[in-house]
Amino acid sequence: PADAAPPGERDVIATLFQWNWPSVAAACREQLGPDGYGAVQVSPSAEHVVLGAEGYPWWQDYQPVSYRIDSTRRGTRAEFADMVRTCHDAGVKVYVDAVVNHMTGQETCGTGSAGSAYCHYTYDQAGYGYDDFHHCGRNGNDDIVNYRDRYEVQNCELVNLADLDTGSDRVRDRIAAYLNDLLSLGVDGFRIDAAKHMPSEDVGALVSRLDRPAYVYQEVLYGDGEPITPEEYLGNGDVYDQRYARDLARIFNSERLAYLREFGTAVPSEQVVVFIDNHDSQRGGGTLTYRDGSRYSLANAFMLAWPVGTPKVMSGYTFDDYDAGPPSDAAGNTADADCGSAAWQCEHDWLPIRNMVAFHNEVRGEPVVRWWDNGGDTIAFGRGGKGYVVLNDESSAVTGRSFHTALPEGTYCDVLHGDVADGGCTGPAYRVNADGWFRADIGAHDGVALHTGARI
Ligand code: ARE
Ligand code: CA
């Protein structure tokens, strides 16, 4: 598509879910850039409702009040702009979660995070009134009930959220002005939230109004038996495919890793953003999450080693309650993220995950070679002569086995357990002989990953 830019050579996205702008900037400088992440996905940047009585739930941010970038709970416009500059200096692009299908779902009027007054269907600061919204006339309250009905999904309200008439030029121009404001601050791309709830043509009309090319990926969740499919949106840019995350979770939890030999996506690999979990599925969507510990690391390692899709790594905070927002001050402003604190998970910084980003970059373009599996939950494969990974999700160790790589002879740091430092490896290292063989004992729910960027 003419107006959508590809993700580029360093394509791995880190989602710093709910992180405030200064913390994202620090992460770009200290972690994401050095680790080889190509981009960060940040949480919604527009003024949103503030639901203090409900404890500032994370999802208040998905109810825009205006398109002011000032004063979300994550910081000011100046902090946002500074974040973009800092990330760019670190070689990291910035993608914004763009909520443009709807405005708020509150029945009572209120004041947004930047001080703008709003009511359901009246948003003066954004320039929207009653007629700028769909009023679909279904189900008594205009809410979506039947996902098998295209009209309903795109013209009724997703959980009571005032549904913008994205078919109108007035609305399209206003949304595009917001996206272009973000581009003027240097933003590189957009996750289009709830894209399924807008006809593909309406999303296309927004993309065609962008002042310059941006990377666009659309949240169009595949649902069994639903008429609206991710494929319909490929002309606008890339898409999510939640089947990838669910299939991987099923294979890890109740099937066999050996089945991964042919693992692919229904949507073409070049146009699909894949992930192990996202902020929705993390809260009960049948995917693996940080709570799965080493199995979660193995799944991320597989995603980053396997040449399918544009990988997105989830990173968030610790929670028990579905609604719980991030650590905040009394006014609901998000606290600085602290990877040393148990309140933040920082999955993007878990050693096996961050080191597999470098593996992913190193093996780019290389084919899968020398697949081996035990018929159960141990698999191994190479990526040309650049990398080799063994993943063992058996509940027992695999011992005394030799693995046949296509790597050049040498000594390699196992990047699932160590970093290259001072010419050595802070974890175990393996000697690959002139014929490509190395011998390793691999623990239960553990692995080994070697690549040519981590030779010692
Ligand atoms: C909240 C309250 C609601 C209340 C509403 C308005 O929870 O009870 O009515 O506010 O006051 C997030 C939260 C919602 C929250 C909303 C607004 O998840 O709970 O509502 O913010 O604050 C469908 C959509 C898909 C959507 C998922 C959640 O197709 O686009 O539902 N995902 C995105 C974001 C969400 C976000 C929104 C959209 C809204 O990632 O975090 O909501 O901006 C099948 C279908 C899918 C469907 C799925 C779940 O799989 O195939 O299409 O996803 O079921 O219904
Ligand atoms: Ca809609």
Taking alpha carbons only, the member of 312, 300, 302, 303 closest to residue 389 is 302
In a shared domain, residues 411 and 441: yes
Q: Name the pLDDT band for 2 (thresholds 50, 70, 90).
A: very low
CATH number, residue 422:
2.60.40.1180
Cα 404 from Cα 399, distance rounded (Å): 15
Interval 123-165: pLDDT, tens: 999 999 999 999 999 999 999 999 999 999 999 999 999 999 9
Burial class (CB in 10 A: 0-12, 13-18, 19+), 388: buried
Average pLDDT of span 176-198: 98
339 within domain boundaries: yes
Q: Is the pLDDT reported for residue 8 higher than 80?
A: no
| Region 17-23 average pLDDT | 98
Question: What's the mean pLDDT in 311-315?
Answer: 98
Per-residue pLDDT reduced to its tens digit, 208-251: 999 999 999 999 999 999 999 999 999 999 999 899 999 999 99
Residue where one domain finishes, among candidates 340, 362, 384: 362
- Domain at 292, CATH number: 3.20.20.80
Question: Is 157 noted as a catalytic residue in this protein?
Answer: no
| Distance between CA atoms of residues 328 and 337, nearest Å | 10
Tens-digit pLDDT profile for residues 409-442: 999 999 999 999 999 999 999 999 999 999 999 9
Dihedral sign (CA 146, 147, 152, 155): positive
Which residue is it, tokens 């040519």? 452
Q: Report d(CA 153, CA 295) in Å as an integer.
A: 36
Q: DSSP string of 26-66?
A: HHIIIIIHHHT--EEEE---S-B---GGGT--GGGGGSBS-
Residues 404 and 306 in one domain: no
> Of the listed 157, 163, 202, 219, which one is catalytic?
219
Decide if 4 is inside a domain. no
Same domain assignment for residues 262 and 411:
no
Q: DSSP label at 413?
A: E
Say yes or no to pLDDT of 367 above 90: yes
**What's CA 270's distance to the chain center, in Å?**
16
pLDDT 10s digits, 253-267: 999 999 999 999 999
By alpha-carbon position, which residue is closest to atom 35 of ligand 1?
A: 280
Compute the distance from residue 160 Cα to the ligand 1 centre, in Å: 10
Assess whether the C-beta atom of 21 lies below 6 angstroms from ligand 1.
no
Residues shown for the chain: 456
Q: Is 34's C-beta closer than 6 angstroms to any atom of ligand 1?
A: no
Quote the ligand 2 centre to 355 CA distance (angstroms).
Answer: 40
Same domain, 85 and 203: yes
Kindly give the distance from the C-alpha atom of residue 99 to the centroid of ligand 1, in angstroms, as a whole number: 11
Is the pLDDT confidence value at 18 over 80?
yes
Checking if the pLDDT of 310 tops 60, the result is yes
Q: Is 219 a catalytic residue?
A: yes
Query: Which of 362, 385, 402 lies at the terminal end of a domain, its last residue?
Result: 362
**Residue 68 structure tokens:** 């002011």
Q: How far does the chain reach from its first CA to its final CA, in angstroms?
A: 43
In the chain, the number of structural domains is 2
Percentage of the chain modeled with pLDDT above 70: 98
Q: How confident is the model at residue 382 (pLDDT cuts 50, 70, 90)?
A: very high
Same domain? 302 vs 429: no
Neighbours of 229 (CB within 10 A): 16
Task: Please report the pLDDT score of residue 5 as a whole number.
Answer: 65
Amino acid 226 reads E
164 and 188 belong to one structural domain: yes
In percent, how much of the chain has pLDDT > 90? 96
Residue bearing tokens 């009209």? 151
Confidence (pLDDT) at 71: 78
Protein residue whose Cα sits closest to atom 44 of ligand 1: 223
Q: What confidence category does residue 6 fall into, taking pLDDT thresholds of 50, 70 and 90?
A: low
Does residue 3 lie in a domain region?
no
CA distance 22 to 85: 11
CA of 193 to the centre of ligand 1 (A): 10
DSSP secondary structure of 282-293: GGTSSS--GGGT
Shared-domain flag, residues 285 and 372: no
For residue 143, the Cα-to-chain-centroid distance in whole angstroms is: 27
Q: Is 285 in the pocket of ligand 1 (CB under 6 A)?
A: no
Question: Does 74 share its domain with 144?
Answer: yes
In terms of residue numbers, what domain contains 419? 368-454
9 confidence band (pLDDT: 50, 70, 90): confident
Are residues 386 and 273 both part of a single domain?
no
ipTM above 0.95, yes or no: yes
Q: For 407, which DSSP code?
A: P
